[in-house]
């Protein structure tokens, strides 16, 4: 499952955008969103999803359950 | 845990600081000797090369902050450290504290804003990047902005303010961009204390928490500080004073950063109110009182120069330190402006400012000579209402802050400022406003104003504060010294008695940019 950003909680700080190894994050109207087709949950790149690790507001980058899990966590 | 933090917490800060001061042979009684250190350091106290760097920088020279303006451009929204005194979600236009902005700018917008502001405020000498996140967590935007500003307005000094986590990686870029002032926020040098201030850091693609996070952060901060000072880049260290967490420990921080070449130490009171939505705001962590802050600053002075004129401004603040004119310079307005940067006009204006400064220094010197014969152990505080230039030029009722000076037979020393505005609270009448102001300056013996109404005058006298309007539009320091001379004369003749004053709380409410 890819990650999604809860827009109402996003501060628009942009910290996640350059960290995404898949260039899946972009700005729309002052907040950021993740392209679910591009998100790989950072598997194969980093030990933890970068957007989740850097986001200043807890529970703002969360798993998008409407999509199938991309890869089971090791 | 180090010796400082491990001490019994019952001992008051002032008491503890007294021991430290004695130990290091610094003055133990305030005003007992002449101060030639502190942010008041003037031309005579500093090496020429350093004086040239700081003399027109309002954040590095107390003397300059009466005359010169700064602006912060908010190009750096991302951050790599989470602090318990910061909440990035909150933005009220009437809110003044670091980490808060109304608009984010692109480097191009920022450069144009700088030119527009420098043209309408010719005493603007410094452009800084202080966030709203961390400038070095946004290195591309930060250095692009500096490059554009340096090209368009080469007479403006550049500075940045960072949490230090990414600092060692960017020291070369900082030197290349000719940034000659860097501020690092170092709240502790003890990872155990750090764990109480920073919930996490983001470093090398990983989130670290607790003591491990604090240890990495502290190592990087101190390493960065040393790398910068070795290259001759002037460094100021900011510390947030958090009672019962790092207050006593800041003496240790002061020594540590001095050993690594910090030029100035700025100890600021914690800003913490529930409506800010910060961890400290919500868990009831209090900020220090004015006397606690001053006792700590006094105790640290002599180890590293201590700054006392910081206004803890927003990451998009514009103007003299006591004012914020950012609301006049919105991006929309700036982009529509046809800016004609006139370096010659700015030079001419600043030459006039220099004349004014010289006159102020000469006036102070003359008045000090008059005081030379006086002998007294008394030190006391006075407040002044000012719009800048070191003059008593503000009406009591219009003052949003008061500058506080400590008077002794050694002269008048700037020791801080007190907020007196009551905006953002709503529904406050004149009566409440007056009691707020009196509360903010209740440790002062007198308040110097350009003008004051009869009612506030009466209330001040009832509160034991002497309202002084006879020095309207004259220099603050000269007037304060003259007033102090009369005060000592009256004491000697038995006309008045010297009484000690109260300990006021530090105003936590927002500073509005609306006049």
Per-chain mean pLDDT for chain B: 81
Determine contact, residues B183/B146, Cβ cutoff 8 Å: no
- Residue A27 contacts B, CB cutoff 8 Å: no
State whether B220 and B118 are in the same domain.
yes
Q: Residue B97's pLDDT band (boundaries 50, 70, 90)?
A: low
- Residue A6 contacts B, CB cutoff 8 Å: no
Looking at the domain assignment, is residue B485 inside a domain?
yes
The whole-angstrom separation of Cα B47 and Cα B143 is 29
Looking at the domain assignment, is residue A71 inside a domain?
no
Question: Which of A9, A11, A50 shows the shortest C-beta gap to B205?
Answer: A50
Q: What average pLDDT does range B267-281 have in this prediction?
A: 87
Looking at the domain assignment, is residue B512 inside a domain?
no
Which tokens is B221 given?
A: 């901060």
Report pLDDT digits (tens) over B325-347. 777 877 777 777 777 788 888 88
Per-residue pLDDT at B507: 58
Among chain B, residues having any CB pair with chain A shorter than 8 Å are 77-80, 82, 88-89, 104, 132-133, 137-138, 202, 205-207
Number of structural domains (chain A) is 1
Per-residue pLDDT at B471: 94
Per-residue pLDDT at B340: 79
Report pLDDT digits (tens) over A20-40. 999 999 998 888 999 999 999
Percent of chain B with pLDDT over 90: 37
Query: What's the 3-state SS for B154-204?
Result: CCCEEEEEECCCCHHHHHHHHHHCCCCEEEEECCCCCHHHHHHHCCEEEEC
- Write out the residue range of the structural domain in which residue A49 sits: 3-63
Which of B479, B491, B477, B467 is closest to B374 using CA atoms? Answer: B491
Domain with A57 in it: what CATH number? 3.30.70.20
State whether B258 and B382 are in the same domain.
no
Per-residue pLDDT at B22: 37
Per-residue pLDDT at B423: 42
Q: Residues, chain A, total?
A: 74
The residue ranking higher by pLDDT, B281 or B50, is B281
Angle subtended at Cα B390 by Cα B384 and Cα B391, rounded to the nearest 5 degrees: 65
Please tell me what DSSP assigns to residue B461: H
CA distances from A57 to A10, A60, B84, B204 (A): 7, 6, 12, 20
Looking at the domain assignment, is residue A24 inside a domain?
yes
This complex has an ipTM of 0.91
State whether B356 and B438 are in the same domain.
yes
CB contact (8 A) between residue A48 and residue B207: yes
- Write out the residue range of the structural domain in which residue B418 sits: 343-493
- The most confident of A49-58, B359-368, B387-396, by mean pLDDT: A49-58
Determine contact, residues A55/A16, Cβ cutoff 8 Å: yes
Q: Residue B12's pLDDT band (boundaries 50, 70, 90)?
A: very low
State whether B52 and B165 are in the same domain.
yes
Looking at the domain assignment, is residue A15 inside a domain?
yes
| Of B126-135, B316-325, B415-424, the least confident | B415-424
State whether B247 and B360 are in the same domain.
no
Looking at the domain assignment, is residue A70 inside a domain?
no
Looking at the domain assignment, is residue A72 inside a domain?
no
State whether B67 and B201 are in the same domain.
yes
CA atoms within 13 A on the CB side of B506: 23
State whether B71 and B109 are in the same domain.
yes
**Chain B residue closest in CA terms to A52:** B207
State whether B265 and B350 are in the same domain.
no
Instruction: Output the CA torsion sign for A7, A8, A13, A16.
Output: negative
Looking at the domain assignment, is residue A35 inside a domain?
yes
The whole-angstrom separation of Cα B337 and Cα B334 is 5
Looking at the domain assignment, is residue A68 inside a domain?
no
pTM over 0.90: no
Q: Which residues of chain B are within 8 Å of residue A50 when distances are taken between CB atoms?
A: 205
State whether B176 and B211 are in the same domain.
yes
Report pLDDT digits (tens) over B189-231. 999 999 999 999 999 999 999 999 999 999 999 999 999 999 9
Total beta-carbon pairs less than 8 A apart between chain A and chain B: 44
Res B131 pLDDT > 70: yes
Number of structural domains (chain B) is 2
- Residue A54 contacts B, CB cutoff 8 Å: yes
Determine contact, residues B400/B422, Cβ cutoff 8 Å: no
Query: Of B76, B79, B89, which to mutate for an interface test with A (greatest number of A Cβ within 10 Å)?
Result: B89
Q: Which residues of chain A are within 8 Å of residue B206 when distances are taken between CB atoms?
A: 46-48, 53
Which of B278, B286, B301 is closest to B20 using CA atoms? Answer: B301
CB contact (8 A) between residue B89 and residue A57: yes
The torsion angles phi and psi of A8, rounded to 5 degrees, stand at -65, -15
Looking at the domain assignment, is residue B204 inside a domain?
yes
State whether B402 and B274 are in the same domain.
no
| Of B137-141, B238-242, B298-302, the least confident | B298-302
Looking at the domain assignment, is residue A69 inside a domain?
no
Domain with B137 in it: what CATH number? 3.20.20.70
State whether B381 and B252 are in the same domain.
no
CA distances from B105 to B80, B335, B475 (A): 19, 11, 39
CB contact (8 A) between residue B80 and residue A48: no
Per-residue pLDDT at B274: 85
Looking at the domain assignment, is residue B505 inside a domain?
no
Q: What average pLDDT does range B444-466 have in this prediction?
A: 92
State whether B55 and B160 are in the same domain.
yes
Looking at the domain assignment, is residue B439 inside a domain?
yes
Domain with B469 in it: what CATH number? 3.30.420.130
CB contact (8 A) between residue B205 and residue A57: no
The residue ranking higher by pLDDT, B472 or B312, is B472
């Amino acid at each position: 499952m890819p990650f999604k950003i809860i827009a109402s909680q996003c501060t628009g700080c942009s910290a996640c955008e350059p960290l995404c190894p898949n260039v899946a994050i972009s700005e729309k109207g002052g907040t950021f969103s993740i392209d679910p087709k591009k998100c790989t949950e950072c598997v194969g790149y980093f030990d933890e999803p970068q957007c989740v690790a850097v986001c200043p507001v807890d529970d703002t980058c969360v798993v998008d359950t409407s999509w199938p899990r991309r890869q089971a966590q090791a | 845990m180090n010796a400082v933090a491990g001490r019994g917490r019952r001992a008051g800060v002032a008491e503890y600081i007294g021991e430290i001061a004695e130990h290091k042979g610094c003055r133990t009684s305030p005003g007992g000797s002449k101060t030639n250190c502190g942010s008041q350091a003037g031309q005579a106290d500093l090496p020429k090369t350093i004086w040239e760097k700081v003399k027109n920088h309002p954040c590095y020279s107390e003397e300059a902050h009466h005359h010169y303006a700064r602006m912060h451009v908010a190009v750096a929204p991302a951050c790599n450290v989470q602090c318990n005194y910061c909440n990035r979600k909150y933005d009220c236009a009437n809110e003044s504290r670091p980490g808060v902005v109304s608009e984010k700018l692109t480097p191009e917008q920022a450069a144009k804003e700088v030119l527009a502001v420098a043209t309408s405020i010719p005493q603007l000498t410094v452009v800084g990047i202080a966030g709203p996140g961390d400038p070095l967590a946004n290195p591309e935007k930060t250095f692009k902005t500096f490059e554009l500003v340096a090209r368009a307005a080469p007479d403006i000094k550049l500075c940045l303010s960072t949490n230090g986590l990414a600092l060692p990686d960017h020291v070369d870029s900082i030197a290349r961009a000719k940034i000659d002032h860097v501020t690092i926020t170092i709240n502790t040098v003890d990872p155990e204390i750090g764990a109480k201030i920073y919930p996490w850091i983001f470093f090398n693609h990983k989130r670290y928490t607790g003591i491990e996070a604090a240890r990495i952060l502290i190592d990087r901060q101190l390493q960065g500080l040393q790398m910068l000072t070795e290259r001759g880049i002037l460094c100021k260290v900011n510390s947030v004073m958090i009672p019962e967490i790092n207050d006593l420990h800041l003496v240790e921080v002061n020594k540590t950063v001095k050993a690594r070449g910090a030029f100035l130490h700025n100890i600021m009171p914690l800003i913490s109110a529930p409506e800010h939505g910060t961890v400290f705001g919500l868990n009831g962590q209090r900020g220090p009182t004015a006397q606690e802050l001053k006792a700590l600053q006094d105790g640290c002075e002599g180890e590293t120069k201590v700054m006392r004129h910081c206004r803890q401004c927003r990451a998009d603040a514009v103007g003299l330190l006591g004012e914020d004119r950012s609301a006049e310079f919105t991006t929309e307005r700036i982009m529509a402006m046809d800016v004609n940067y006139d370096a010659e006009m700015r030079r001419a204006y600043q030459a006039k400012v220099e004349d004014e400064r010289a006159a102020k220094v000469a006036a102070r010197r003359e008045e000090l000579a008059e005081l030379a014969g006086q002998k007294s152990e008394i030190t006391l505080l006075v407040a002044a209402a000012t719009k800048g230039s070191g003059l008593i030029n503000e009406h009591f009722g219009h003052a949003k802050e008061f500058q506080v000076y400590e008077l002794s037979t050694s002269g008048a020393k700037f020791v801080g400022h007190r907020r007196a505005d009551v905006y953002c609270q709503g529904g406050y009448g004149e009566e409440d406003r007056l009691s707020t102001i009196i509360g903010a300056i209740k440790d002062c013996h007198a308040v110097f104003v350009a003008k004051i109404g009869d009612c506030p005058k009466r209330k001040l006298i009832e509160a034991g504060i002497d309202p002084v309007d006879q020095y309207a539009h004259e220099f603050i320091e000269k007037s304060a010294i003259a007033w102090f001379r009369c005060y000592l004369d009256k004491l000697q003749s038995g006309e008045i008695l010297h009484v000690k004053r109260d300990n006021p709380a530090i105003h936590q409410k927002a500073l509005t940019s609306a006049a």
